[in-house]
Amino acid sequence: MSPDQLYHHLKELSEKLGINILEQSFKQVRLSVKSGFCRVKGKDLFIMDRNLPVAKKNSMLVKFLSTQPHEKIFIPPAVRALLHRNK
């Protein structure tokens, strides 16, 4: 599976869990900002730096999503295996 395909599947899983991924460019922000999970006005968000390489985006999402309850959601077997290896 290509990194782009994996990213697509991870974003899809996130949406099924009710966590929206919001990609923003942090280059113009004058504060130290990192990608990650947050809750804003009761909504679950994973804010992602748009300028990160897809491999880094995948790594962060795998680490986060492996901690979320995803056992009852259909996920391609290769993605599920990756999530379980990172628990």
Helix residue ranges per DSSP H, the chain: 3-16, 54-65, 77-85
User: If pLDDT is split at 50, 70 and 90, which confidence band does 29 have?
Assistant: low
User: If pLDDT is split at 50, 70 and 90, which confidence band does 80 have?
Assistant: very high
Q: In the chain, how many domains are there? A: 1
Q: How far apart are CA 4 and CA 42, in angstroms?
A: 30
**What φ, ψ does residue 56 adopt, rounded to 5°?**
-70, -40
What domain range is 12 assigned to?
3-85
* C-alpha closest to that of 35 among 13, 6, 64: 64
| Average pLDDT taken over every residue of the chain | 90
Query: What pTM did the predictor assign?
Result: 0.87
Residues 6 or more apart from 15 whose CB is under 8 A from it?
21
Over residues 71-83, the mean pLDDT reads 93
So what's the pLDDT on residue 24? 82
